[in-house]
Each structure stands twice: as C-alpha cells, then as structure tokens.
Structure 1
C-alpha cells in the first residue's frame, strides 16, 4: 500500500513536479494567446512584508538562483533559476519558511519569449445583463472560492486562493460567455524605450548643425519654430506622461515661476507620480513635451501645457495597475497621454489594458477622446511592440538627425508616425535637478530611443488640441497622419509610417475651414456594444477590437485587376447581436471621394458575418483606400458621424498579388490508438490550405496536399515506431511557405481494445472528482454524474520511476471520502489488488497528492488508470456505490532510455572504447546544453527522458 499524503494547495489545478513544461492559454479580446510554462522562473507570494535585505542575502547562497526581484508593496518575489526546479522542492531549495509563504507557482512565456507571472487576482468585465452575483454563483457551482470586487472603473477583480488555478478559472468564466473579457491579472515587466542647449535640439529645428560630431540634414525636424508662431499650447491643457515619474524642475514653470507639474498618480501604493530612486526617464520625456521657453536649458514643443505624471515603474505593477494609469488620466482631464514604454513583445495582449486604452481614446475629453501616443519599441524588430500596435493609439518610431530610420526603431504595418531622436546625435532635454537622474546637472544631452520620439508627437498633438479643442481624437489623428512629411517610399510605408510629424502643417490644417486629410471623416460615437471585429478580402484577414474609428491604412491589401475575391465582414458584439448595417467602399478612381459606383458591399440588417464576391475592375494601378462602416439600424454613408457603430479604413494596392506566406507553428499530435493519430498546428493568417509530409524515422516522406483546416487525421502508424511531420502553408497564386520545423512523436505498444468492468457512483450531487493531474494529464472537471470516460487523455509513465498524482474533490464540503487509484500494469483488463497505486481518505477539498511507483516489470504500452472516490469507505474497482464518482484515464508505460548512446553504428575498423568519459550539463535543460565527448566516439545520439532522439552527430562534423 502506498502511504497517502495531502497538503493544502488550492482548488483546481497544480502543475506536476515532473518538469514536463505544459502549454496553456488565456483569452484577450476574443483571441486565444498561447502560454508555455517556464520551470526556470517562479513567483512567490508572502503573507506579510519581508525583510528585503535578509531575504536577498539568504537567496544569494542558493546555487540554483540566477536572479531575484522583491516587490515589497505586493509582498511578491520573482526568482529566475539556472535550472528547472520541481514545485514541491521550491520552499526547501530556496530556504524559505513555509508558513510565511502564501503561494508559489511557475512563470509563463508567450510564443516570442516574453515572460508573465500569475498573481492572486483575475480581472474581468461582465457582459451587459450579467450581474456579479451570477458570476459568483457560477464559481460556487464549480467549487471555486473567490471574492469578486468592483473597481472604481468598469471592471472587477476576482481574488482567488491559489494563482495556479488562475488560468483555468479565468478561461472557464470567459468560455461560458459571462464576460466581455476575463484573464489573470499577470505581473509583467514594463520596458522603457530609451536609449543653454536649444541650438542642439535638432528634433525641433534641424539646420544641418553638427551635434556629437554628426552633421544633420537640414529641416529633418518637426517644424516647431514655425508652429510656435501660431501657438505654444493652452495653459489649461493637460498632457499625461505615463512613465517613471516627473518632479518639479526649473525649466517646467510658468512665467510667474509656478510649477506646471501636477500631483499625479502611482498605481502601486497610491502615490503622486513622483520619480523613485534615480529614475529620470519620465522627466526627460516631459521636457521634450513641455519645457519652458525661459532662456534656461532647453525648449519643449508645447511650453504652456501642464504635465500629469503617472509612475508605472515601481517594478511591481500588474497589468490592471498599468491599465489604471489610463483610467486615471482619462478621469483627471488629460487631453494627450504620452507613453515612452511598452512590453517587449509583439504578440502580447491583455484585455484589461486594451479596454482602459480604448476607453481613454473614445471617452476622454468629455467624449471627444484622448490622443494616445506610444513608442514603437527599440528592439530592432520588424514588428511594433505591444501596446503600441493597438489600433487605438499612435505608434511612433524614430529617425536620426540625418533623416533615416534609427536602426533600433521597431517598424512594420502598425507603425503610424516617426519623429526625430538619436541614432546619430543625442537628444537634449531636461534631467532631474541635481545629482539624481542621468547626469550631475539639471539637463542631459544623450537622451534617445523611440522614448525621445514619442513625446515629440505628444507635444504636437497638444498644440493641435490647444487651437481646436472641439476636434475628436480621430480627427486630430487624421490631421497628424495627413500632414506628416513623407519619408521613404511615396505614401505610407512600413519604415516611416505616414511620415515625420509636422507641427506647423498640422496646426494649419486644424485651423482651416475643413480638415485637409484628403478623405472625409466618418466615425461612430459609441462602439461598446457593436463594432467591426474582422475584415477579410481574399487571403487578407484582419481582426481588431472596438474603436470609434480605426485608421488601418498601414494594412495594405493587394488585389489583381480582373480577379474576383470574397469580401467578408464580421461584426463583434459585447452581448446580444443587433440589427446592424454594413457598407464597404473602394475608391477605385482615387479621387479621395467614395462614390455610389464604388460601393462594393451593402448588407443589412445583419447580426453575424456577411459576404459578397467582388470583381476588381481591369486597368487599375497604384494604391487607394477602402472604407468599412458598421452602423446600428440604418445604412451608413461614407462621410458621417453616427451614434452607434464603427468605421475602419484600409489601403488597397492594385497589381500582382505578392503574398507573404508564413510556415505554421505550435505543431502537436493527438495519438488515438496504436494505428491512428491526429496531427494539428496553429492557423496562419492568409493561408488557404496546408501541405503536410510525414515519415517514419529515417524513411521517405509521404505527402498530403490541400489539407483544409489545421488538423489531419491519419491511420496506418506502427507500434514502436518514431515519426516526424512538417507542415507548410499555401497562400494562393502558387505561393507556399517553407516547411515548418519537424515535430517528432512515437506510437507506444498497447491497445484500447481491452474491455474493463463498469464502475459508477449513483449520485455525485454533493461531491465529485474535480481534478486529476499527472504528467501530461491536467483535467479539472465538474460533476460528471458519477462516471466519466477520459481515456482520450494520456499520461506517459516510465517503468521503474516514481511520479506524482494530484487529485481533489469539489465542492468544498467537509464529507469524508475515500480515494482509490488503480493502474492495469499487466494489461489484462482487470484491476487487481497489487495494482492499487493510491489508497487513502480525506475530508479536504484542497489538492491532495501521492507518489506512485511504476513497477520495473510493468508491460510497456497503453493501459487504463481508474480513479475512484467513494463516500465513507473505499470503493471496489468494479460496481456501483451510493455517493461519489469514478473517472477513467489512459497511461502509456515506457522503458527509460539512456541519455547517450555511443556504441551504435561505429566504424568496424575502430575498436570499441570500454570506458567512455563524457560531460553533459546543465541537465535537465530547456534551451541549450554543453556536451564534451572524446575523439574516440564516432557518433553521438542524445535522447530525452521519454526516449525521443533530440540530437545526433558524428564527431568529425
């Protein structure tokens, strides 16, 4: 009999300590975002504030620890490790006092490697008509403990007992249609995009002066002096600087000497937005926007405006706390919100932050909307980083004083504008007074990055609002785009967006009788309930969230004249569908007017996706605009502002269709039995179909063409063989991607054909099995009515090894239940006494765990595991009983494989080495490994613990 252990660890889900990283996901704005569990980083939550110095000193003595960061306000510790660490070893290895620790869990990585960590909070926005009480009742029915609290804004925070349950709980809430959005309130690191002085401020007035030994190109600036002849900003206008804080400065005062720095906000600790430590990044950004013209130091673009500082760089901020920066700015009068920061990912998205930004962009300034600017990022990527890639903000890249894109500046289809920054000469701006900050004085001459470019656009936006406060955010954004100084290719391009911001031209346009943006303006006044969710034209697909107007002219749709394409528009709804009307125009004659014969789709009323086949007229060349409008209850005009709905603009290029076709990622396999398996992969935007090739290890490829969708069911696999497959995308017009990397898998010996006796609880009304977790199986469930067949879920076990099984019951009622777990090791269809791997009892509804030993003589292959939970006494393997539940699962027993095999396929003329000396580290590992092999070894093969070949080479290579 195996001794039964239990511990108080939570309610729903716990990662197995076997160090097999798991993939999971969360939802953001209707998009499923994949997460990979990272066993080399931890988040530890304490009950009370710790002595930071003693804690860090203690962790310095732990050899497994690579880096630590303690968050005193949140009472949270982030630990990066040199090696993977099982969860059940964390407390002892880190030498922590268990009673002081509230929880601990692994971190996660997005597909591009960006790290996030779970907290005890989930953030959510209920759908219209769904009450907090309904959500609380849903949680109770699932046996989940949680306290739901309203914030001062339009979302709720759910406090949960164990962060390890956060993803499961959040996904259950969202997938049961209770919320507009719902996800864990992750902690994630925010990144600053950084890298008498007026005569050197080339970003304001570039005369070709030599700065830092670099001669500039005349007029590569934002035309600030010309703009100042019109306005230097309104003294009542507020620009929020979301950064690491701003404090009083000699060059940020009124003509009477009063500070123009307002009391701000620090979401962590509820402070006033002042800098911490030697942080000066926000100070320098504020100087670019608003430094006084007072014969001291430097000059700002809008020297009369006031600055509202918001500090999000205490290093402790969760996503919701960052979101509250925008909620605070919106509700405290900000007209412009400047952001020279971001997350180091192009793939991230968090609904609580997206929603706060969207609300500021649409509801700020008494409904006219805040203008929100973001630095595009400094990571040299050809994609704009999050949140700068949102459609509700202006993404700003950097150009040098010589008139070329700064090489570090992120660019791509989501880039909107550029502004002067460093890359050749440094940017001059204010520093913190005295010794705090970048330099010992009150100014710095080496500021830069897209951090310096973004506030240039913020300052110009402030000037435009100052002269025309009645304009909406969408109208001002259009002015900035339309009046930008074109750079690079003619028109908008991915290197420079719409071009370099031009303050003088923007003010002239704003003061004109009509706003000279070329195309007429059109937008909705409210898009909270319905919006344009997805636009598809041919192979082009673009999904977006709610906004009143979105300028997606950076998205270029290439079509061939004379060809016919399917145009599909999908509306999005916060709750019920509404009778909406959708019109789409393409300005074929490029006269900046949408005419009646250019209306290519007219549908309504609709409450779901609607399509039309359109034929592109022959003889067209160049680039033009497509407008998509969705309006409630009646058909929209091309040029109107309406009450409910949204408008989006795109660019259409006439010419030969050149499609970018990417290879699929996130490959996987569902092994159904000894001969059948289903291959699957992640969908690729623009792909029409896929081609798959499969082969046995070392064999010839077998090709499968024209695969619709992202799954391919195959039969004919052989037991004991190892297989690999690759996938490539087909994007039309004879354009294929390269093949993906190989995904390898093997077919274990065993069969599901064996029949087993029935077992069932007659009533699971009061208690049921709500979690079974072992290795690859992580299955949180509800009341299954006494029995559930989960044999489609399979865990891999190694003969002769020990694994940990986690189980729990729900709901949280104090009834005594007995647990019994069998594994049919001899695969004879009978659960025998010597096949009991867990036996014990508990009243607890928390997660229990037990170590189970796999016999060395267990038959290899697939077999059955049965989990029984019975009230008041242990259950037999077969038969029915009054109260409780039974669940069946599959397990595959495998033989452990040696890590290295050096003796295979050696040259017969070379004598075998009896005592081979080798060095391999670190072990285990996730991404790299060092291997030292003697010259006498002719061939090296490296296997993982499941016996899969991951590397092979001959030594003379």
Structure 2
C-alpha cells in the first residue's frame, strides 16, 4: 500500500476486521500476582535501552493527557492510581467510562496503559523491600513506587476510550463506527497524544474515517498507531496505521532488530521500538508478559508525551519530526519499510538540537483527502445508533465509501495547455521559415542564372527550422 494509491481499485475483502494488535496470542500472556521490583520492574529493559531513563532527566510527561483507544483501562490497578483523568465507552456495550475491560481481549487496554503511564506502587507490607539488585527504585521512575510497572511517561495522565473490537459487539456498533467516534472524543476531551494499539489486515480505511483523523490533525494532536504483527496475519501495515500523518510503530525483537512475528512492514512505518518480551499490568492488579506492536506503540506514544510536556507549544508535526529524525538508522540506509526512519532513541528526541519544521515527515491527511477524495469528504454526522444487538465486527464491503474516480477534465486540462503551447511554438517557427524562404526567393542570388526551384528550400532554411524545434 502506498499512501497515494487509488484505493477504489482494491478489493476490500479484508476490510475492516479490526483487531487488537498486541498479545501475539492468548497463550503469549502469562499473568501473575503483584510482585516486587526485582521480579517485574527489572524486566522493563526498554527503559534504559531506548534511552527513556535518560530522557526523564528532561521530562516525565507532566501535564499531558494521552488517550488510549482500546479495550478499556482498569483504573483500580495499583500502578495506575491517580493516572486516569477521564474516559468514555464508545462501544455502546456499557464500558463504564472507559474503565471496564471489554471486547475480545479485555486485558489489552490495561497492558497498554501501564506501559505508557504506569507509576508503580508501594509494597503492601511496610517491611517489603526490593532486592539489592533491583534497578527500578527512584532512579528508574522518579517518584514511582518501587513495585510494579513504571511507564514511559509516568507523570502523564490517561484518557481511556473503550471500544469493542475483535468479536461481535453486544452494543451494536461496528468497528468502522467506533474508531472515528473514539478519535473525536479524545480530541474534544483534551488529548495531546492518542495511542491506537489496534489494526486491521487491510491498508485501506473507510472514507467515513477521514473527517475524524482530519479533525485530530487540525487540532494538532499526535496520533501513534501499531503496525500490526505478522503472526496475527498482518504481513503488511494495516489501517489506521496507514493513514497519512499517523506515527506508525514497527516492532523490534530482544536483539534490537526487526521482529519476525511481532511486527509488520510498509512504507508508512515511522519508527521501530521494542515489541518482544514486554510486561504490563493486567485487570485486577496482576501482570503479564506479552509481545506485539501494541506494546511498542505506547513506548513511542509515551516519548511523544515527554516531548509535549517539555515543549507545550510545539506542534504535532514537530513532535513527530523529533522522534523520527533522532531515531537510529537501521536496516537499509535511510527510511525503509521495516524500521521506518530507524530505532527509537528517546534521549536524543528530548535532548538533541532538531531543526524546526512545519511539515509532518509522515504526510498529511488533509493533503491526501484533497488529492484522493477530490474534496468529497464523507459527512461527519454520526449515524443513528440501532438498538443493542450482536453486531459482527466486519461490515459488508458495500457500506464502505470509496474515493471518487479522478475527473477526466482534471487530467485533460494540463495536457491541452501543453499541446496548445506546443502548436503555437511550432506555428511561429513555421511562419518564420516561410517568410525566410519567401525573402530568399525574391532576392537575386549571386552567380545564379535561373530562379530557385520552388520545390527546394533555400540554403539553411531547413537547418534553421530543425535547430529551433524543441526536442
């Protein structure tokens, strides 16, 4: 998929079975009761290896709201105490202000939220202490408690926007309806960063999504989305990570190279971050090991929150540019479909001297709409909500608006203009040649006894025409 591909030419049979893009399988999650730092916090290798602990010297995300569009976030988890700043249930299935875990993978949203903004917690027993080898005391999470998970932006706040994805929704809303509504709610409620750890197997998205993502772009909100996982069927990046302007995150294995299972590939990838051997909080207070670009995404979204906290007036385009321009190049030189611009370097993103830019290096949904939709933006009015029922997560292809075919007039006008100038130029040259020939016929030639033959051009006439004609 290219961002400028004429999407109406594709068959949308894979559209739009949205699924949560993390947790490579249910078996990949191994939960456990709350534990001390030496058994969980030390497993957060990405905090040091991705430069996050060094970035905390500059910012920890204070004052920034990050929306997590997911399966709901359990705000009672000990590592999320005081983190949630609000929420909403978009699914219609009764998600209790975004804090009830719902959908096919109800644990997913809590895993994401703890990795993004977890604050750890104090041990239940006053005598409980982390082991001498634990690395995650105050130095590894500022004021975070010594136990549990500390997120990339431990002073940021979370807005939980719950959606029902991956299975039939008892609330009746489809995937296609929930995503744009969730994005709009997040923007309207103060999110400066939106984390979307979900994806599809199709690079295309419904035209009805255009307005919501355009709205976020116009309101200067950073959107970070998961590239998807090959093990889950994403051999290429799927929507919404293909939408121009979205910061798409690919996955790395434990060695820092592109993950085979827990990543995907595509030209829309912006940056790569750890996606294997991850840990996060589970609903009910437990923890789990998991894998997938769903976990890589909050790492990058957390860095975006650190930047927006340090420079509140910085534009979304500049925030994204800071992240991708300071990434460590990997794979093929320059931007490539496995790593994007490179491997996340949080310290450089917060400390490097990065030239200002007004252009998002990952494109603009506004420009894309202008070119691909020909200004035919789908209505932003929400459709009437039917009575609660069991709705399949995938809608028939016929309900997906498609881009209009480019106008024949649009493509014909430039050609006509070029041809017009071409004919005019040739006409001028021909007229000049004719006048030259006439002048030469009317003037006597030195040493000539007979007039020039009318069917033969005068000396140099043909050369004059040929040398002046554009090649």
Identify whether the pair has TM-score above 0.5, normalized to the shorter chain.
Answer: yes
Matched residue, 1:247:
74
Change beyond 3 A, Cα 1:33–1:491: closer
Change beyond 3 A, Cα 1:611–1:384: farther
* 2:41 pairs with one of 189, 194, 198: 198
Hey, what's the Cα distance between the residues in 1 that align with 2:107 and 2:235?
Answer: 28
Matched residue, 1:396:
249
Hey, what's the Cα distance between the residues in 1 that align with 2:187 and 2:5?
Answer: 21
Matched residue, 1:443:
287
Equivalent residues of 2:18, 2:198 under 8 A apart: no
Hey, what's the Cα distance between the residues in 1 that align with 2:64 and 2:57?
Answer: 18
Using the TM superposition, give the Cα deviation of residue 344 of structure 1 relative to its aligned residue in structure 2, in angstroms. 2.1
Q: Secondary structure at the match of 2:46?
A: coil
Using the TM superposition, give the Cα deviation of residue 353 of structure 1 relative to its aligned residue in structure 2, in angstroms. 1.7
**More helix, by proportion:** 2
Using the TM superposition, give the Cα deviation of residue 427 of structure 1 relative to its aligned residue in structure 2, in angstroms. 0.8
Using the TM superposition, give the Cα deviation of residue 33 of structure 1 relative to its aligned residue in structure 2, in angstroms. 5.6
Q: Which has the larger radius of gyration?
A: 1
Matched residue, 2:271:
417
Q: Secondary structure at the match of 1:501?
A: coil
Using the TM superposition, give the Cα deviation of residue 29 of structure 1 relative to its aligned residue in structure 2, in angstroms. 11
Q: Secondary structure at the match of 2:150?
A: coil
- Residues 1:360 and 2:203 aligned together: no
- Residues 1:229 and 2:45 aligned together: no
The higher relative CO (CA closer than 8 Å, separation ≥ 6) is in: 2
Hey, what's the Cα distance between the residues in 1 that align with 2:85 and 2:237?
Answer: 31
Equivalent residues of 1:349, 1:387 under 8 A apart: yes
Using the TM superposition, give the Cα deviation of residue 190 of structure 1 relative to its aligned residue in structure 2, in angstroms. 3.3
Hey, what's the Cα distance between the residues in 1 that align with 2:194 and 2:20?
Answer: 17
* 2:206 pairs with one of 347, 350, 353: 350
What are structure 1's unaligned runs of at least 5 residues? 1-27, 36-109, 117-187, 206-220, 254-258, 364-368, 435-441, 533-543, 547-568, 576-606, 613-957
Matched residue, 2:391:
none
* 2:355 pairs with one of 516, 523, 529: 516
Using the TM superposition, give the Cα deviation of residue 433 of structure 1 relative to its aligned residue in structure 2, in angstroms. 2.1
Using the TM superposition, give the Cα deviation of residue 268 of structure 1 relative to its aligned residue in structure 2, in angstroms. 2.4
What do you get for the CA RMSD once the two structures are aligned?
2.8
Matched residue, 2:87:
264
Change beyond 3 A, Cα 1:279–1:486: same
Equivalences, count: 325
* 1:428 pairs with one of 255, 279, 283: 279
Change beyond 3 A, Cα 1:570–1:190: closer
Hey, what's the Cα distance between the residues in 1 that align with 2:155 and 2:372?
Answer: 45
Superimposed CA distance per residue, residues 885-918 of structure 1 (whole angstroms, 9 cap, x where no aligned partner): xxxxxxxxxxxxxxxxxxxxxxxxxxxxxxxxxx
* 1:310 pairs with one of 158, 161, 168: 161
Equivalent residues of 1:358, 1:392 under 8 A apart: no
Equivalent residues of 1:29, 1:545 under 8 A apart: no
Using the TM superposition, give the Cα deviation of residue 521 of structure 1 relative to its aligned residue in structure 2, in angstroms. 3.6
Matched residue, 1:114:
14
Larger mean Cα displacement after TM superposition, 298-307 or 194-203: 194-203
Change beyond 3 A, Cα 1:545–1:199: same
Matched residue, 1:469:
312
Superimposed CA distance per residue, residues 505-551 of structure 1 (whole angstroms, 9 cap, x where no aligned partner): 11114xx5xx336xx5448xxx99xx64xxxxxxxxxxx335xxxxx
* 2:106 pairs with one of 279, 285, 298: 279
Q: Secondary structure at the match of 2:331?
A: coil
Q: Secondary structure at the match of 2:216?
A: helix
Change beyond 3 A, Cα 1:286–1:522: closer
Equivalent residues of 2:21, 2:226 under 8 A apart: no
Equivalent residues of 2:200, 2:240 under 8 A apart: yes
* 2:192 pairs with one of 307, 311, 335: 335
Superimposed CA distance per residue, residues 162-220 of structure 1 (whole angstroms, 9 cap, x where no aligned partner): xxxxxxxxxxxxxxxxxxxxxxxxxx443433222222111212xxxxxxxxxxxxxxx
Q: TM-score, normalised by structure 1?
A: 0.32
Hey, what's the Cα distance between the residues in 2 that align with 1:191 and 1:356?
Answer: 20
Change beyond 3 A, Cα 1:275–1:462: same
Hey, what's the Cα distance between the residues in 1 that align with 2:260 and 2:317?
Answer: 30
Superimposed CA distance per residue, residues 213-243 of structure 1 (whole angstroms, 9 cap, x where no aligned partner): xxxxxxxx32011001111111x31100011
Hey, what's the Cα distance between the residues in 1 that align with 2:221 and 2:259?
Answer: 28
* 2:321 pairs with one of 472, 475, 478: 478
Equivalent residues of 2:22, 2:108 under 8 A apart: no
Q: Secondary structure at the match of 2:47?
A: coil
Hey, what's the Cα distance between the residues in 2 that align with 1:312 and 1:192?
Answer: 14
Equivalent residues of 2:279, 2:287 under 8 A apart: yes
Change beyond 3 A, Cα 1:29–1:352: farther
Using the TM superposition, give the Cα deviation of residue 298 of structure 1 relative to its aligned residue in structure 2, in angstroms. 1.7
Hey, what's the Cα distance between the residues in 1 that align with 2:186 and 2:373?
Answer: 30
Matched residue, 2:433:
none
**More strand, by proportion:** 1
